[in-house]
Structure formats: structure tokens, C-alpha cells
Amino acid sequence: MLYSGFMSAALPPFPEPQEPLDAPQLLEVGSAPEEPCLRADAARNRARLLEAAARLIAEHGAAGVTMEAVAAAAGVGKGTVFRRFGDRTGLLMALLDHSARTLQADFLGGPPPLGPGAPPVERLRAFGVAALYRSAEQLDLQLAAQSDPSRRFAHPSYRALHTHVTMLLRQIHPDADCELLAQTLMAYLDPALINHLTRQCAMPMERLEKGWGDLVDRMARTPV
């Protein structure tokens, strides 16, 4: 499954929850709380800034996205960009949130095996494949947005994916330390590792996909 056109396509509707109560929630990608009279304008400005940033990425890659360039492309002052996103990493993470919502909508309410209705091992296998290809399509953006280690694992998009993997692991190995085991599995999907394997080692995505399936199958067979 490929997750292309993450900024050109409309955001998916929120599905009715079909997961347990500890399942991850869809990210709220809208503007931060504002005064009621400013909320509509703030949301429009934020959307315009994200669209401008997406155009810059399409034209110049993630390296071409600076706060100054986004402000110029959107026709606003640089201070507006800083107020909305804080810094460049916050802006890039906001762009990733748009595509993360598509993936989350699929595993929360989409068809199986990625969505509810399939055995947990099959769902975990499908999740990894979807996450691998999503990262591969947005690799430069993923790498640029994860430059700050203090924010990398605390960001809501990462926490939502980690919570989903933890929930599936609890169904497979209820007595295991599933929260920590989920971090181990998520490391396989790390954009920096995907970058190393695909670009520096010339490893095809098909091999990474097969490796993920093998990892999940071995984990499911072996008592943890």
C-alpha cells in the first residue's frame, strides 16, 4: 500500500472507533486553540502555510523548506510561520501529521488486514508494510523532521503508531512487556534505517517488506 500525494489529497474522514479503548486516536491536525474570533483565520493561515511548504518540498525537496521560504511562498510575514509552528522541525512534523492521519484512519477503521477484523498477527504484518512504504515515499521529509531526538519519540504521530503496535502485541503475547517490545518493532520502521538500507546499501523495498513479515512471524511463534 502506498501513501503518495499526502498533501494534495483531502484528509480522510474520521472513522467510527472499532479498536479497544487503549487504541491510538487519530491526530488532531487542526490549528492550536485560539481566541474564538481568530480561530477561523488561524486555521486558514495554517492550511495556507502547510500548502506552501508542500509546494516547496515538491519543487526543491525538504532542504528547500525554511521558515523564510514558506513565509514568502504563502505571502505572510516570517513571524506568522514561527507563531504557528514554533520552528522548522515543528513545521515539518505538521506536514507529516497530514499523512499520518491517512495511515491511522486505515488501521483504525479501514478494511482488514490493516484495519479491524483480521487476526492481530496479520494486522501487525500489514501495518509494517504500510508504514515502510509511507516512510520510503516521504523519506527526505521524515529524516528532516526527526532531527531533534528530544521530540522524535514524544510526537503524537509516533505515539499513536506505537500504541497501535502495543495493542496488537497484547493480543498476541498478553504476558509480555508489549510496550517495550513495540519500541523494538518500531525500530525496524525507523526512517534513518530505511534510508541506510535502501539508499546506502541499495536494498530493495521488497526485501525490507519480506524481512518485516519474517520478524513478525518469528515474534508470534516464540514465547516472549
User: What three-state secondary structure class fits 27?
Assistant: coil
Domain boundaries, the chain: 29-86, 88-221
Those residues with Cβ within 8 angstroms of residue 21's Cβ, 6 or more apart along the chain or in another chain: none
Residue 33, phi-psi category: left (phi > 0), alpha (psi -120 to 50), beta (remainder): beta
The tens-digit pLDDT sequence of the chain (224 residues) is 444 443 334 333 333 434 444 444 444 433 333 334 447 777 788 888 888 888 888 888 888 788 999 999 988 888 889 988 888 888 888 888 877 888 999 999 999 999 999 999 999 999 999 999 999 988 988 888 876 677 778 888 889 999 999 999 999 999 999 999 999 999 999 999 999 999 999 999 999 999 999 999 999 986 65
pLDDT of residue 224: 58
Give the separation between CA 73 and CA 125, rounded to whole angstroms: 40
Give strand ranges (E) for 67-205: none
Handedness of CA 192, 197, 198, 199 (dihedral sign): positive
Does pTM top 0.75 for this prediction?
A: no
Give the separation between CA 35 and CA 38, rounded to whole angstroms: 5
Specify whether the CB–CB gap between 2 and 137 falls below 8 A.
yes
pLDDT of residue 4: 42
Alpha carbon distances (Å) from 30 to 78, 107, 116, 205, 214: 20, 21, 26, 33, 38
Specify whether the CB–CB gap between 170 and 178 falls below 8 A.
yes
The verdict on domain 29-86 having CATH code 1.50.10.20 is: no
Task: Return the CATH fold of 88-221.
Answer: Tetracycline Repressor; domain 2 (1.10.357)
Specify whether the CB–CB gap between 49 and 85 falls below 8 A.
yes
Given this chain, do its domains 29-86 and 88-221 carry the same CATH topology? no
Alpha carbon distances (Å) from 204 to 147, 179, 207, 211: 25, 30, 6, 11
Q: From the CB of residue 209, how many other CB atoms can be counted at a distance below 10 Å? A: 15
